[in-house]
Amino acid sequence: MDCGAEDPAKLVMVRYGELFLKSEPVKRHFIGRLLRNIGKVLSAEGLDHRFATPRGRILVYGPEPEKIAEIIARIFGIVDVSVCSITGTRLEDLSSEAVRLASTRLFAGMSFAVRAKRQQKLGLDSQELGALIGSAIYAAVPGLRVDLSHPDYEIFVEVRDFGGIVYDSRIPAPGGLPWGTQGRVLVLLSSGIDSPVASWLSMKRGCAVTHLHMDAGRWAGSDVTEAAIENHRRLSRWCAGNPLSLIIVNNEPLFNAMQEERIPPRYRCVICKRFMLRVAARLLGNEGALAIVTGENLGQVASQTLPNLAVISEAVTAPIIRPLITYDKEETVTIARRIGTFDTHPGDLACRAVPGMPSTAAVLEEVKEAESKLRIDVLVESSCTHVRFVTALNSGIRPEP
Ligand code: ATP
Ligand code: MG
């Protein structure tokens, strides 16, 4: 690579956090997965790249480092990403690139700090290295102040085994664990705000995800299924390179049956949620998933009281993960905005089956009696045989027959 002073060669430096805590074999496995995830998304975007993995870092070389960094900053398992200039390891190499970069960002009156780190012995320790480069920047731009606690501008200089690097920005990435390292979960995905956040948090914790949406037909608001597909499409940007599948199951017959069998309307929500879990549990094996994830939250709506959650959970033996159970709505909305799933004009998402007075403490025996009247197992079986798939890859959507 060319290291000319005007246009230095660059690399993208990737930091991963928690992976550090793992034992060597686990770390190797996780980093391998992370490299595959990064490679898949860069290839899908048509970006040439090459990796190096010096201790504790992943380096990505390629002709479009800024674009590579922007894409990588959405990948789970990564803490932050920096586009770095590659320099020699001599003081004058590091210093001249630091001065060049800092001069493009600093103006009179601004404060700055140099953060220096050195893996390789230079004859100087890190502090001395920082001080010398700081002096060079100070001399090059008039009117600066050094402030090591709260600087307006920070520049990082590192001397590593593979060479010198200089950079001044750290693009925050989501952290967590690489997609797929924790096995697969089936996420009950609605048109709402909560379940997309629950899905994102599951992906963040290393789960591969399959989405499951229940289409209540005439009982659902007219925009519900489209909004759920949109949630699915937006979430696929967070696992780009890995296909994200959405299974759509029709549960209109359940609501028709509850009306025909005159099931007490106050039990509709609990029976509906138990039905969703049953369908999910029935599909787990097909998807190779180990647990069901929902966006349920303690006390948010009538069906989400503790007594109701106990009755709902009783429907299946599969593990149910509720990442948002203790979140305030505001906390969930903040994440939804950040991850791009919050919609200010969501359309008609009202559920027409919700009764005026839903039960807040359903009695399990009564619920089970209602379900046997409904022949719930037959309804579950028939719903599971008429499913639709939508696969989103790199935020583009590919409907499957
Ligand atoms: P959300 O909770 O996702 O904002 P919501 O408020 O419309 O949607 P709730 O009644 O709170 O739905 O449902 C609790 C959970 O049940 C949801 O978080 C979601 O995991 C699941 N769920 C609700 N409706 C559907 C649906 N139509 N398809 C799949 N899952 C659903
Ligand atoms: Mg909800």
Candidates 3.40.50.720, 3.30.70.270, 3.30.390.10, 3.40.50.620; CATH matching 184-399: 3.40.50.620
pLDDT of residue 122: 67
* Helical axes 91-103 vs 126-140, angle rounded to 10°: 50
Cα–Cα separations (whole angstroms), residue 98 to 59, 146, 162, 192: 20, 15, 18, 48
Beta bridge partners of 145: 111
CATH 3.30.2130.30 boundaries in the chain: 10-172
Which residue, by CA, sits nearest to atom 30 of ligand 1? 188
Q: What is the distance in A from the centroid of ligand 1 to the CA of 42? A: 33
pLDDT of residue 394: 55
Contact 325, 300 (CB under 8 A): no
pLDDT of residue 397: 42
pLDDT category at 396 given cuts 50, 70, 90 is: very low
Which residue, by CA, sits nearest to atom 27 of ligand 1? 214
16: helix, strand or coil: strand
Whether the predicted pLDDT of 401 surpasses 80:
no
Residues with C-beta atoms within 5 A of ion ligand 2: 194
Percent pLDDT > 90 in the chain is 84
pLDDT of residue 120: 67
- The ligand 1 site (C-beta within 6 Å) comprises 188-190, 192-195, 212-214, 276, 294-296, 301
Q: What's phi and psi for 294, nearest 5 deg?
A: -130, 165
Residue in the structure block whose two tokens are 């995905």: 189
* Helical axes 364-374 vs 268-287, angle rounded to 10°: 70
Within 10 angstroms of residue 46's Cβ, the number of other Cβ atoms is 7
Residue 239 CB contacts under 8 Å (≥ 6 apart), including other chains: 76, 179, 203, 208, 209
Q: Cα 361 to chain center, whole Å?
A: 34
Q: What is the distance in A from the centroid of ligand 2 to the CA of 329? A: 9
Structure tokens belonging to residue 337: 């905005």
Q: How does the average pLDDT of the chain come out, rounded? A: 92
pLDDT category at 5 given cuts 50, 70, 90 is: very low
Nearest to 197 by CA among 79, 296, 55, 344: 296
Structure tokens belonging to residue 389: 């798939």
pLDDT in tens, 347-381: 999 999 999 999 999 999 999 999 999 999 999 99
Contact 78, 16 (CB under 8 A): yes
CATH architecture of 10-172: 2-Layer Sandwich (3.30)
Within 10 angstroms of residue 32's Cβ, the number of other Cβ atoms is 13
Query: Is residue 171 exposed (0-12), middle (13-18) or buried (19+ Cβ within 10 Å)?
Result: middle
Cα–Cα separations (whole angstroms), residue 182 to 1, 185, 202, 276: 38, 9, 9, 23
78: helix, strand or coil: strand
pLDDT category at 2 given cuts 50, 70, 90 is: very low
Which helix or strand (DSSP H or E) is residue 63 part of?
A: none
Beta bridge partners of 12: 60, 83
Contact 190, 199 (CB under 8 A): no
Which ligand lies nearest to the CA atom of residue 268 in the structure? 1
CATH 3.40.50.620 boundaries in the chain: 184-399
Q: What is the distance in A from the centroid of ligand 1 to the CA of 113? A: 48
Q: What is the distance in A from the centroid of ligand 1 to the CA of 400? A: 24
Whether the predicted pLDDT of 239 surpasses 70:
yes
Q: What's phi and psi for 171, nearest 5 deg?
A: -85, 120
Contact 180, 242 (CB under 8 A): yes
pTM: 0.92
pLDDT of residue 8: 77
